[in-house]
Amino acid sequence: MADDIDELFDLAVIGAGGAGTMAFLRGVLNYDRCVLFSGDARTRRKGRSTWVSHVDNIPGMHGLGHPIGKSTKCTLEWIEGQEGLRDRGTVIKAVVERLERSAEGFVCRYEDKRGSHAVRARFVVLATGCMDVQPQIGGSIKPVFPFPNRGDFIYCVRCDGHLTRGKELSVIGASDSAVSLGAMMADRYGHEGVAILENGLEGGLGEEARALASAYGMQLHASPIAKILGDPRDRGLEGFRLVDGTRVDTTCCIVSLGIIAYNSLLCDLGGEVDASGRAVVGEAGESSIPGLFVVGDLQSGRKMQVYTAWDEAVDSADEINARIRAERRGRRLGAAPGER
C-alpha cells in the first residue's frame, strides 16, 4: 500500500505519457529506486498522448492504434515481469496534488479513498504535459470532439500535416502563427486559398501576417464559428457556418490556438515558466528549482513530439543517476582506506 512506503526514493516521475514512461524506464534501467505517479482517468483524459490514435512520423509505429498508450502499458508490464528490475520501480496510480521541497529533496502528496499520502524522493522528473486549446463553437468545445479521430481536425502539423493533402484546408487561430501555418501548408503541400478562421477571438492579425495572407490568397474570417457542418460518423467535416451567416467550405482544419500547460506543481514551487506556461530549463532539463527536472511537452522551446520527449527523459534520468553515482563515489573516496 502506497501510504506504507516509508522509503526515500531516488527518483519520483510524475506523469506516465511518452515522457514520464521513458524517464521511469531509464531510471529503472539505471538501477535507481524509482516511483511513477501515473495519474488517473481525469488527468489521462487531459493528456495529449491519450488522443494520439496513430503515429506516422516515428519508424516502426505505423499501423499501431493508440501507440503511445500501448507503449506505456507494455513498458510497465515488461518492468513488472523482470526479476531483479521490478523492485527498482513502483507505480502509484494516483495524481500528485502537491509537490513540496524538503531537506532531502521533495515530497509528493496525493490522495486516494483511504486518505492523504506522502512519498519522499531525492529528485523529481515532472512530465505532466500540456493540452491544445480547443475552439469554442456555439459556446462549447464539445462539437469538435467527434471529428479529430477521423483526422478532420489536426493539432500538430509535424505529426499529421501530410494528412491534409488533397483536402480543402482551414486554420482556426487568431494569431500570426495561424497565417504562417497556412503559408507553410501551401508551400509544402500545395494548398491554395486556405481559410483562416479567427473565431471571434481578440488579438487580431498583424500587418505582416495580413500581407502574407494576401500573397497566398488566404480567406480571412473574423466572425465566430456558429456550427460545424458535416457528419463525423459518415461524410466527415464539410465546413463551418459562421455567426455572420458565411459558409466556409473545408474538409480539414488545423487548430492553432495555443496550449494549456499543466505546470501547477512547478509554479507552486516558484519554478520559472515561459509566456506559454512551459518550464524554462537548463542542462538536462533541470528547472529553476534544483533537483526538479521537466521533460516532454511541458519543457519550453522543444518540439512537443514523442521522440523529443523520450530524449529529454533520458537526459534527465541519466543526469540524476550521474549525481547519485557521484555521491557514492565521493563517499568511497572520502572513506578511510581501511573502510573502502
Nearer to ligand FAD, 154 or 209 (CB): 154
CA–CA gap between residue 83 and residue 99 (Å, rounded): 31
Q: Which residues of the chain form contacts with ligand FAD (CB under 6 A)?
A: 14-20, 37, 39, 43-44, 47-49, 51-52, 55-58, 68, 95-96, 127-129, 132, 155-156, 159, 262, 296-298, 304-307, 309
Handedness of CA 207, 160, 229, 134 (dihedral sign): negative
**CB nearer to ligand FAD: pick between 221 and 312:** 312
Least Å distance, CB 300 to ligand FAD, is: 12
Nearer to ligand FAD, 99 or 205 (CB): 99
C-beta of 94 vs 320, nearer to ligand FAD: 94
Strand order through the sheet with 252-255: 153-154, 252-255, 169-172, 195-197, 219-221
Least CB distance from residue 37 to ligand FAD, whole Å?
Answer: 4
Location of C-alpha cell 512537443: 304
User: Given the complex with ligand FAD, which of 205 and 266 has the nearer CB atom?
Assistant: 266
Please state, in angstroms and rounded to a whole number, the distance separating the CA atoms of residues 293 and 133. Answer: 25
In whole angstroms, the minimum distance from the beta carbon of 67 to ligand FAD comes to 8
Contact 223, 242 (CB under 8 A): yes
What pairs with residue 318 in β-bridges? none
Least Å from the CB of residue 212 to ligand FAD: 26
Q: How far is the CB of 128 from ligand FAD (least distance, A)?
A: 4
| Burial of 238 per CB tally in 10 Å (0-12, 13-18, 19+) | middle
Minimum CB distance to ligand FAD smaller for 158 or for 329: 158
C-beta separation of 24 from 32 below 8 A? no
Cβ neighbours of 26 (radius 10 Å) = 23
The smaller minimum CB distance to ligand FAD, of residues 36 and 205, is found at 36
Rounded distance between C-alpha atoms, residue 247 and residue 326, angstroms? 65
Cell numbers for 3:
501510504
State which residue, 218 or 316, has the beta carbon closest to ligand FAD. Answer: 316
> How do 8-14 and 115-126 pair as beta strands?
parallel
In whole angstroms, how close is the CB of 96 to ligand FAD at the nearest point? Answer: 4
Taking a C-beta distance cutoff of 8 angstroms, is the pair 74, 67 a contact? no
Paired sense of beta strands 115-126 and 247-249, if any: unpaired
Pick 154 or 178: Cβ nearer ligand FAD = 154
Name the grid cell of 62. Answer: 505505423
Supply the angle between the helices 67-80 and 18-29 in degrees, to the nearest 10: 20
SS3 category, 10:
strand
Smallest separation, CB 170 to ligand FAD (Å): 17
Helix (H) or strand (E) holding 9: strand 8-14
H/E run at residue 280: none
What is the nearest approach in angstroms of ligand FAD to the Cβ of residue 232? Answer: 15
Q: How far is the CB of 91 from ligand FAD (least distance, A)?
A: 11
